């Protein structure tokens, strides 16, 4: 596989992680309640800068043999690597019309923007014309409410405005293809959506299971490996921080207990790994398959 793509199997499910590029934001946005000195020390240990955090965007292609499923579509036109996801799909042998299902873990721009062609800002077009677009009903209801309340997030007001605008605009552009789900739902055989609220009201995790192998996709329930090591450290993009942390703990306990592989959209590429119980009630991240 070329750089930016990595293939592995979960039982009979052929999985490929595809990089849609990356962004960078102030460290304080990702760790708003972390002790400053402790955070600086933890970032330094990882060789990372203390000012800005680089966050990769990693989508997951699942080929079941019958179905082609894409989990999250990346940022799309707003990205410094706009179009990356389509190029990576093409290299993986997938044309946009081959995609049967796109699942959005949630409607933040870095997950939904890549499903929409915004080259003509007046006429947004779906990029996967034949795909059903699966999203939680709670997510759809939240962003389509008259004025989605983002006061719980601790990022700049500009960032909140962009997030609100893009989410609403993309959901509107995709409205004829949207399929709403409620609760735990098997989307295709072996791929189950699990409600994981807190980051957003309808945020989803995904459990892949086939032939005794399992992988848990956290979505944005953790956006940096330090969120495993220090599970009480909040993420400023979480709408409901306490609920997000309860969800994160529950997912990580499930993954560690089941010896599962784990994927997280924003973790260092290829964004897959394993975790084990670490010190102080946290977990240690070991990247790779
Ligand atoms: Zn995200």
Contacts from 93-96 at CB under 8 Å and sequence distance 24+? 94/61, 94/68, 96/127, 96/128, 96/129
The rounded Å distance from CA 105 to ligand 1 centre is 9
**Mean of pLDDT values over 163-189:** 98
20 and 114 in contact (C-beta within 8 Å)?
yes
The rounded Å distance from CA 130 to ligand 1 centre is 25
pLDDT score recorded for residue 230: 95
Which H or E element spans position 160?
A: helix 157-173
The rounded Å distance from CA 164 to ligand 1 centre is 14
Q: How confident is the model at residue 2 (pLDDT cuts 50, 70, 90)?
A: low
The rounded Å distance from CA 196 to ligand 1 centre is 14
The rounded Å distance from CA 179 to ligand 1 centre is 21
The rounded Å distance from CA 26 to ligand 1 centre is 15
SS3 state of residue 262 = strand
pLDDT score recorded for residue 19: 94
For 20-24, 155-159, 237-241, which range has the lowest pLDDT when averaged over its residues? 20-24
Of the candidates 100, 47, 56, the residue with the CA atom closest to the CA atom of residue 80 = 56
The rounded Å distance from CA 108 to ligand 1 centre is 6
The rounded Å distance from CA 264 to ligand 1 centre is 9
Q: How far apart are CA 250 and CA 247, in angstroms?
A: 5
DSSP state of 76: G
The rounded Å distance from CA 123 to ligand 1 centre is 25
The rounded Å distance from CA 111 to ligand 1 centre is 6
The rounded Å distance from CA 265 to ligand 1 centre is 7
For the stretch 62-113, pLDDT in tens is 999 999 999 999 998 877 777 789 999 999 999 999 999 999 999 999 999 9
Of the candidates 70, 155, 74, the residue with the CA atom closest to the CA atom of residue 110 = 74
For the stretch 98-111, pLDDT in tens is 999 999 999 999 99
């Amino acid at each position: 596989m070329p750089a930016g793509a990595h293939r592995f199997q979960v039982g009979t499910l052929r999985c490929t992680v595809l990089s849609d590029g990356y962004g960078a934001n102030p460290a304080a946005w990702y760790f708003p309640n972390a002790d400053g000195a402790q955070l600086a020390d933890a970032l330094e240990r990882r060789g990372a800068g203390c000012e800005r955090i680089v966050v990769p965007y990693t989508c997951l292609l699942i080929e079941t043999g019958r179905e082609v499923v894409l989990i999250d579509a990346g940022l799309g036109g707003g990205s410094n690597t706009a179009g990356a996801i389509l190029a990576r799909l093409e290299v993986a042998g997938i044309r946009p019309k081959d995609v049967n299902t796109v699942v959005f873990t949630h409607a933040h721009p870095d997950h939904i923007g890549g499903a929409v062609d915004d080259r003509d800002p007046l006429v947004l077009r779906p990029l996967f014309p034949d795909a059903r677009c699966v999203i939680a009903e709670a997510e759809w209801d939240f962003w389509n409410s008259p004025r989605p309340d983002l006061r719980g997030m601790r990022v700049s007001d500009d960032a909140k405005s962009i997030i609100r605008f893009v989410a609403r605009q993309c959901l509107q552009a995709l409205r004829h293809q949207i399929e709403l789900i409620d609760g735990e739902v098997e989307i295709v055989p072996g791929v189950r959506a699990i409600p994981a609220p807190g980051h957003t009201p309808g945020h989803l995790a995904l459990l892949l299971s086939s032939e005794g192998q399992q992988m848990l996709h956290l979505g944005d329930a953790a956006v940096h490996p330090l969120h495993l090591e220090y599970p009480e450290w909040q993420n400023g993009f979480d709408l409901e921080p306490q609920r997000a942390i309860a969800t994160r703990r529950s997912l990580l306990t499930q993954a560690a207990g089941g010896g599962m592989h784990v994927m997280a959209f924003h973790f260092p590429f290829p964004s897959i790994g394993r975790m084990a119980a670490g010190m102080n009630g946290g977990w240690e991240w070991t990247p790779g398959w």
